[in-house]
């Protein structure tokens, strides 16, 4: 797949109506001190002035390549469309609202060059939440997932993951796509990005790659800054939960194909966490009919005592739910 004219790394970035953010995001990539790369931006049918913004930057830096899809088809389709244009040794993933920190790409390429057994390299990240005014390490916030990992040190800040990715990220996803650099050969082993998925596409790919035997490692220091600019309204939370449930159904089928039945219980637990989130949101809106519908649907994935408890509290209304949560928090502090 490689050819003489291909750069060492191709960075693939889908974008949709982010013209206001691209003037910050793109320079953080193009200014990396490792220069042998190209940036492929896949415009997923934007209706704002994304094309104008990109072309102005493209005039100054020919490493930027721009592809526009005729209509919006979702992150999975755009990510895979970009991958199809890659002929480099490595592929790095980027999102159009995150900033790369200086030295990110050079550090990751050096690791992959020195450790040919590593298929996928990721790293820590800063979560910067303008809504709540919080800045925190991503690895610190995803410790419930990271605790599943069995690791071995390879170098300063570099850890080989011997097992646990496929169970850990079902609990708490600690692998954001913009920290990932992958060998192109890994796609022969695990396939490409699922074109039917939107928000959970990177989660599903990362999980599937682990299930199918990709070798992971991580750098234990922040490589990017992730930003949250707007509060997630209830409709978005419910929609993302529904998307995640659809993604987990795909994960179930992968388990069957890969003959990994021991992972089903972890998938079931993740499904019930999604239902609990939805019950909470419907309770907050005092929509008891939706609380009942969500709980009834959750039973298709088996009975969960935790989901049942959320259902009982949800039928009691927002006051019952919030009172129970305050009591639980106070007991934890004792």
Give the separation between CA 51 and CA 212, rounded to whole angstroms.
38
Instruction: Tell me which residue of 271, 279, 208, 265 sits closest to 245, measured CA to CA.
Output: 271
* Residue 134: per-residue pLDDT: 78
Q: What is the residue extent of each domain of the chain?
A: 9-228, 234-333
* Residue 320: per-residue pLDDT: 84
**Contact indicator for 192, 93 with CB cutoff of 8 Å:** no
* Residue 227: per-residue pLDDT: 82
**Contact indicator for 98, 225 with CB cutoff of 8 Å:** yes
pTM, entire model: 0.91
* Residue 229: per-residue pLDDT: 66
Report CA-CA distances (Å) from 119 to 85, 160, 206, 217. Answer: 20, 11, 11, 8
Give the separation between CA 325 and CA 197, rounded to whole angstroms.
33
- Name residues whose C-beta falls within 8 Å of residue 57's C-beta, 6 or more positions apart in sequence: 22, 23, 26, 27, 30, 64
Q: What is the pLDDT of residues 138-169, one digit of tens each?
A: 999 999 999 999 999 999 999 999 999 999 99
Query: Which residue shows structure tokens 């992968």?
Result: 254
* Residue 323: per-residue pLDDT: 81
Helix (H) or strand (E) holding 313: helix 305-315
DSSP E strands: which ranges in the chain? 9-15, 37-43, 64-68, 90-93, 99-100, 120-129, 134-137, 150-155, 158-163, 181-183, 216-228
User: pLDDT under 70 in the chain at which residues?
Assistant: 1-4, 130-132, 229-235, 327-334
Chain CA centroid to CA 311, Å: 29
Burial (Cβ within 10 Å: 0-12, 13-18, ≥19) of residue 233: exposed
- Backbone torsion region of residue 272, taken as left when φ is above 0, otherwise alpha when ψ lies between -120 and 50, otherwise beta: alpha
Instruction: Tell me which residue of 149, 182, 153 sits closest to 10, measured CA to CA.
Output: 182
* Residue 232: per-residue pLDDT: 38
* Residue 130: per-residue pLDDT: 66
Query: Sign of torsion, CA 266 268 273 277?
Result: positive
Instruction: Tell me which residue of 236, 232, 190, 235 sits closest to 214, measured CA to CA.
Output: 190
- Both tokens assigned to 159: 């850890």
CATH class of the domain comprising 9-228:
alpha beta
Instruction: Tell me which residue of 246, 130, 145 sits closest to 199, measured CA to CA.
Output: 246
Strand duo 181-183 + 120-129: pairing: antiparallel
Chain CA centroid to CA 71, Å: 23
Give the separation between CA 195 and CA 83, rounded to whole angstroms.
12
**Contact indicator for 19, 53 with CB cutoff of 8 Å:** yes
């Amino acid at each position: 797949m490689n050819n003489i004219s291909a750069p060492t790394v191709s960075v693939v970035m889908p974008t949709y109506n982010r013209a206001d953010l691209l003037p910050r995001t793109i320079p953080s990539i193009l200014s990396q001190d490792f220069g042998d790369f190209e940036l492929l931006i896949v415009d997923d049918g934007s209706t704002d002035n994304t094309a104008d913004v990109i072309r102005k930057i493209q005039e100054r830096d020919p490493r930027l390549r721009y592809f526009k899809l005729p209509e919006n088809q979702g992150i999975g389709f755009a990510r895979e469309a970009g991958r199809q244009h890659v002929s480099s040794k490595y592929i790095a993933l980027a999102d159009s609202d995150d900033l790369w920190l200086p030295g990110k790409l050079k550090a990751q390429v050096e690791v992959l060059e020195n450790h040919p057994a590593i298929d996928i390299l990721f790293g820590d990240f800063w979560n910067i939440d303008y809504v709540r005014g919080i800045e925190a390490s991503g690895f610190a916030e995803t410790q419930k997932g990271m605790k599943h990992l069995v690791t071995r040190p390879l170098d300063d800040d570099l850890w080989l993951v011997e097992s646990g990715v496929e169970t850990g990220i079902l609990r708490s996803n600690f692998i954001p796509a913009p920290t990932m650099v992958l060998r192109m050969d890994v796609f022969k082993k695990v396939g490409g990005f699922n074109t039917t998925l939107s928000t959970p596409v990177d989660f599903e790919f990362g999980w599937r790659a682990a299930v199918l035997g990709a070798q992971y490692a991580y750098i234990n220091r922040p490589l990017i800054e992730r930003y949250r600019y707007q509060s997630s309204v209830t409709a978005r939370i419910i929609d993302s939960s529904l998307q995640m449930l659809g993604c987990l159904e795909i994960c179930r089928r992968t388990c069957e194909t890969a003959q990994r039945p021991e992972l089903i219980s972890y998938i079931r637990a993740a499904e019930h966490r999604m239902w609990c989130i939805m019950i909470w949101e419907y309770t907050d809106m005092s929509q008891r009919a939706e609380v009942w519908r969500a709980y009834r649907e959750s039973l298709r994935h088996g009975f969960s005592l935790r989901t049942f408890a959320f259902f009982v509290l949800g039928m009691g209304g927002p006051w019952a739910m919030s009172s129970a949560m305050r009591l639980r928090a106070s007991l934890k502090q004792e």
